[in-house]
Amino acid sequence: MSKVTIAAEIWSFLKERKKLIFLPLIVLLILLAVFAIVAEVPVLTPFIYALF
């Protein structure tokens, strides 16, 4: 399955079950995961420190 298909299935599941309230939570978790991965790259750490 491609990533687009997985995202489409998750969207249809949330839409069918009227659980769209969970969408911000899912987006936040994805952003935190991306932030954690980027924080491990030593070249990008000065840019992360500049944000805070």
pTM of the complete model? 0.58
Flag whether pLDDT at 16 surpasses 80: yes
Per-residue pLDDT band for 46 (boundaries 50, 70, 90) equals confident
How many structural domains are present in the chain? Answer: 1
Can you tell me which residue has the tokens 């839409």? 15
C-alpha–C-alpha distance, residues 45 and 22, integer Å = 30
| 14 within 8 A of 22, measured Cβ to Cβ | yes
Q: Which domain holds residue 40?
A: 3-51
Per-residue pLDDT of 20-35, as tens digits, reads 888 888 889 999 998 8
CB-based contacts of 45: which residues, under 8 Å, 6+ apart? 39
CB-based contacts of 44: which residues, under 8 Å, 6+ apart? 38
Flag whether pLDDT at 1 surpasses 70: no
